[in-house]
Amino acid sequence: MNTIIYANQKRRSVRDLNKNLPISQDRLEEIVKSVTLQYPSAFDTQSARVVLVVGEKHDLLWDKIIEILRGVVQGDFSATFARLSAFKKGYGTILFFEDFKPLEKSYENFSFLGLETFKNFSEQSSGIIQYALWLALAYEGVGCNLQHYNPLIDEEVKKMFEIPSDWSLKAQLIIGGINKEPEAKNLKNINTLVKIIK
């Protein structure tokens, strides 16, 4: 089977993770760097900034996110606490940022497209790299799930890891060994999703 289609079918949101990554730390770094070097971005601006957080720092990150959420969730915190604690049990977190400065440069030449279009380009480029990395990791048996605690956590995360203040946090991909595979998906009728015109 086509390798990418195989990886696409293998990729799921795995939320029950452990710290036993099926690949080495070196291999993980290699995959993160390789995907980040060569993903498609609007005007080839390469606006993604990727921060891989593992080990004790990953645990500290999730402790901080738990603390932040405890301050904003109203009422019973137990369900949120259980969900966040599960993420802490993973091996690491990949933080996806966007640096809008390179896009601002392109915007100067293509301002007739409107600033909103460039903001959308940045979001779309980020989605593409998130998915490419998710796919590459899933292919090698790494469990992943994608979370969005931004913008609640942005300030503290930037402080923790000395991230430039003008980078924008887009998503958090939690990675780890797979404890439990997710249930099979309810797939829609393909004919309601794809129209072939010939």
Ligand X SMILES: Cc1cc2nc3c(=O)[nH]c(=O)nc-3n(C[C@H](O)[C@H](O)[C@H](O)COP(=O)(O)O)c2cc1C
Residues that bind ligand X (CB under 6 A): 12-13, 145-148, 182, 185
Q: Least distance from C-beta 111 to ligand X, angstroms?
A: 28
CB of 195 to ligand X, least distance (A): 22
* Cβ-based nearer residue to ligand X, 104 or 181: 181
Measured from the CB of residue 127, what is the shortest distance to ligand X in angstroms? Answer: 6
Residue with Cβ nearer ligand X (91 or 107): 91
* Distance of closest approach, residue 162 Cβ to ligand X, in angstroms: 25
| Cα gap 145→179, rounded to integer Å | 13
* CA distances to 35, 90, 91, 150 from 68, in Å: 31, 19, 21, 11
Which residue, 193 or 196, is less far from ligand X as judged by CB?
193
Nearer to ligand X (CB atom), residue 148 or residue 159: 148
- Please choose, from the candidates 129, 118, 117, the residue with its C-alpha nearest in 3D space to the C-alpha of residue 46: 129
Q: How far is the CB of 50 from ligand X (least distance, A)?
A: 17
Min CB(114)–ligand X separation in Å: 23
Nearer to ligand X, 123 or 156 (CB): 123
The Cα 44–Cα 103 span in angstroms is: 9
Q: Which CB sits closer to ligand X, 47 or 145?
A: 145
